Chains A and B, each alone.
Chain A
Amino acid sequence: MHALKPLTGVRGSEQSRGRKGPLLAAIPALVPFVVITSALELAVRGGLVRAYLVPAPSSVFRAMVESRGELMRAMLTTSASALLGFFLSTVAGIGIAVFLSSSRAIQRAFYPYAVFFQTVPLIAIAPLLVIWFGYGTRTVVASAFVVSIFPVIANTLTGILSTDPALRDLFRLYGASTLVTLFKLRFPAALPQILTGLRVASGLAVIGAIVGEFIGGQGLGSVVDIARTQQRVDKVFAAVLLASVLGLALFGLINLISYVTLRRWHASEQA
């Protein structure tokens, strides 16, 4: 009993620390941000780094404020395309992985083609994307989709294939059908891996959307392209920063889904 007491005490204090909220939790992430931006600001102002190569954080901030309308509209457009591309690659990627997991033969026949998505040099096929899908949103979504689908397929497939054999036997013993086994056992068991795939895919979808916008026009990609031509390095960085914010937001969304779905049973969300 005595040995247990301090243990519960520690737990209690951990919980209360956790409850102190997101503000305190954000401090470790804020420290490098403050240090790096101030160092950069000083370096540019002191003439160590030339402003036309790397802009001072203050001028990036100014560009952000000056062009806020344009940047916000661009960010909304990019967000919509990236989200749609990400959604499509989630649905299609999981679907393809389930299909591939159905038999060894199917896996051997089709998996190599899935790898195609991972290796496709987007820039090389860019002019074709434009011809297939036209200029604008469809090309951008296609681009986000193509670069983000592979991690979904690969992780989902690994997840589904690594179901605990003992549990599989149990399901078989009770005469569960393939579909029931898939939805009640294999799929839930694969969730942690699927979510890992989605985390990787979310960042890629943002990159894919921006690259798509270089060739298809509109959004943050277009802002970057124009600002680069006009040698507005500050505006380029402002747009890039917003793209990162978008990536972070998507990543946060997946983490939330992960927490909601896994907290009851998976170690990764119980720590």
Chain B
Amino acid sequence: MNRRNFLLGSAALLTACGKSSQKIRLALNWKPEPEFGPFYAAPYRKYGLDVEILPGGAGTPTIQMVGAGSAEFGIVSADELVVARSRGNDVAALFAVFQNNPQGIMVHASRKLTSIGDIFRHPGTVAMQRGLSYARLLEKMYGFDKVKIVPSPNGDVSAFLHDKNFAQQCFITSEPLIANRQGADVQVFPISDIGFNPYTDVMATSGELLRSKPEMVKPMVAAVREGLRIYLDDPKPTNVHMQQLNPTMPLDLFTETSEVQKPLIETEETRRDGLGVMTKERWETLIKQLKDLGDVEKAPAAEECFRSL
């Protein structure tokens, strides 16, 4: 009798545990930095969620992780998501932190270049990940005959500081600030200048999770949206928390970055339709650009790529 009760009790306990607190994993594609502020600020508990944030590094394959189910949610970029879908990875975007793409190319201001095309018309070195769609778009538009393309140093600015004719891909909100602090006079050209402006810092999930656990996905989006509002209004407490997780980045740089990124996050559209909003038109533009570049053979439908929750 005792034994039976014990077994029944344990079984009930196990079911209860399974129901109430399934740990949700959110995979980041970089270290804890201000771009992830909203995810660290989000009040998950309030929405009944138990979220574990997994910091990443250069090349963390978040999109594959989400597709394979080793993380329920992951941070990706819109272009990456379109390519993944075209290769059979069933993933969908839920929330876009950056409405305007924060990627750019930074150069030394002393070179007096006037446009992004200028970078490729003058001899010099450009550190850039050649596999990126925008890199090939730039190649198509301007050609790489005059410049030497070298691998991206993943956020390290030492080669840039060392060479006046060195240009490097960057997050407008990151490397230029670091290089400035080291005494360089930096000028940045955003990639959106050439009309390539995919949503970035996008939270995505798998189609399977969308179908099987809609009750998990919807509150997750709501929590992150609230997190973004909190972070925009008062980034300080979240910055202090993230700085403890990433002590190599000084706190004042966290503060500066969270200010610089604001205009890329809050735009006319978000004021009208809410933070994190995505439109079908912009996904369509992106898909067409990627198709023209040959990055996707079978273009996915725009409406499959994202959900508005």
Residues of chain A whose beta carbon lies under 8 Å from any beta carbon of chain B: 50-53, 127-128, 130-131, 135, 214-217, 222, 225-231
Interface of A is mostly: helix
Question: Nearest 9 CB-CB pairs, A to B?
Answer: A229-B131, A226-B131, A135-B150, A127-B156, A52-B89, A230-B131, A217-B150, A217-B151, A226-B130
With known contacts A228-B131, A231-B63, A51–B151 Cβ distance under 8 A: no
Chain B hits for A216, CB < 8 A: 150-151
Which residue of the partner chain A has the closest CB to B59? A228
User: What A residues does B63 contact at CB under 8 A?
Assistant: 231
CB distance from B87 to the nearest CB of A (A): 5
B68→A225 contact, CB < 8 A: no
Distance in angstroms from B170 CB to nearest chain A CB is 15
* Any A CB within 8 A of the CB of B125: yes
**Interface contact B87-A52, CB-CB below 8 Å:** yes
11 A-B contacts (beta carbon < 8 Å): A50-B68, A51-B87, A52-B64, A53-B68, A128-B158, A131-B162, A135-B148, A215-B153, A216-B150, A226-B131, A231-B63
Shortest distance in angstroms between A77's beta carbon and chain B's nearest beta carbon? 14
Which residue of chain B has its CB nearest to the CB of A127? B156
Kindly provide the distance from the CB of B58 to the nearest chain A CB, expressed in whole angstroms: 10
- State whether B67 touches A227 (Cβ < 8 A): no
- Tell me if B67 and A130 are in contact (CB < 8 A): no
Quick check: B68 and A222 within 8 Å, CB to CB?
Answer: no
Q: CA of A229 to CA of B64 in the docked complex: distance in angstroms?
A: 12
- Max count, chain B CB within 10 A of own CB: residue among A51, A214, A215: A215
Give the chain B neighbours of A127 by CB distance below 8 A. Answer: 153, 156, 158-159
CA separation between A237 and B125, bound complex, in Å? 29
A222 to B135, CA, bound (A): 14
Given known contacts A52-B67, A214-B151, A217-B150, is B80 in contact with A225 (CB within 8 Å)?
Answer: no
**How many B residues touch the partner, as a band?**
20 to 34
Q: Which residues from chain A contact B80 at a C-beta distance below 8 Å?
A: 231
Is B64's CB under 8 angstroms from A53's CB? Answer: yes
A233 to chain B: closest CB distance in Å? Answer: 8
A231 / chain B contacts, CB cutoff of 8 Å: 63-64, 80, 83-84, 87, 89
Rounded to whole Å, the gap between the CB of A145 and the closest CB of chain B is: 19
Smallest CB-CB separation from A52: which chain B residue? B89
**Inter-chain contacts of A131 with B (CB < 8 A):** 158-159, 162
**Residues of B with C-beta under 8 A to A53:** 64, 67-68
Say yes or no: is B226 at the interface (Cβ < 8 Å to chain A): no
Contact A50 B67 (CB under 8 A): yes
Complex Cα distance, B118 from A214, in Å, reads 27
User: Is B11's beta carbon under 8 Å from chain A?
Assistant: no
B132 within 8 A of A: yes
**Does B295 interact with chain A (Cβ within 8 Å)?**
yes
Q: Which residues of A contact B153 (CB under 8 A)?
A: 127, 130, 215
Specify the chain A residue showing the minimal Cβ separation from B153. Answer: A127
Chain B residue numbers with a CB within 8 Å of A229 are 129-132
Most chain A CB neighbours (cut-off 10 Å) among B80, B88, B125, B159: B159
B125 and A135: CB pair below 8 A?
Answer: yes
Given the known inter-chain contacts A53-B68, A131-B158, A231-B83, please indicate yes or no for A215 contacting B151, CB distance below 8 A: yes
Chain A's nearest CB lies how many Å from the CB of B283? 18
Instruction: Give Cα A215–Cα B131 distance, bound, in whole angstroms.
Output: 14
- Taken together as a complex, chains A and B put the C-alpha atoms of A226 and B129 apart, in Å, by 7
* Cβ B151 vs Cβ A225 within 8 A: yes
* Shortest CB distance A56–B (Å): 12
In angstroms, Cα B9 to Cα A176, docked, is 86
CA of A229 to CA of B149 in the docked complex: distance in angstroms? 16
CB distance from A230 to the nearest CB of B (A): 5
Which of chain B's residues have a CB closer than 8 A to the CB of A51? Answer: 87-88
Which residues of chain A are within 8 angstroms of B131 by Cβ–Cβ distance?
225-230
Residues of B within 8 A of A217 (CB): 149-151
**Residues of chain A contacted by B89 (CB below 8 angstroms):** 50, 52, 231
0 or 1 for each of B149-179: is its CB under 8 Å from A? (1 = yes): 1110100101100100000000000000000
Q: Is the CB of A52 within 8 A of B151?
A: no
Contact with A along B87-100 (1 / 0, CB 8 A): 11100000000000
The answer on a CB contact under 8 Å between A130 and B159 is: yes
CA distance A225 to B84 in the complex (A): 17
Supposing A127-B159, A230-B83, A231-B80 touch, asked if A222 and B151 sit within 8 A by C-beta, the answer is yes
Contacting residues, chain A, for B129 (C-beta < 8 A)? 225-226, 229
Task: Give the CA-CA distance A132 to B156 in the complex, in Å.
Answer: 15
* A-contact bits for B56-92, CB 8 A (1 contact / 0 none): 0001010110011000000000001001100111000
Report Cα–Cα, A228/B129, bound state, in Å: 11
Q: Is the CB of B295 within 8 A of A230?
A: yes
A224, closest chain B residue (CB): B131
Question: Which residue in chain A gives the minimum CB-CB distance to B89?
Answer: A52
Nearest A residue to B149 via CB reads: A217
In the bound assembly, the distance between CA atoms of A131 and B158 in angstroms comes to 8
Q: A50 to B61, alpha carbons, bound, how many Å?
A: 15
- The minimal Cβ–Cβ distance linking A114 to chain B, given in whole angstroms, is 27
Q: Which of B89, B131, B159 has the most CB of A within 10 A?
A: B131
A214 nearest in chain B by CB position: B151
Complex: how many Å from CA A131 to CA B100? 33
**Nearest CB in chain A: distance from B120 CB, A:** 17
Nearest residue, chain B, Cβ from A230: B131
Contacts of B67 in A (CB 8 A): 50, 52-53
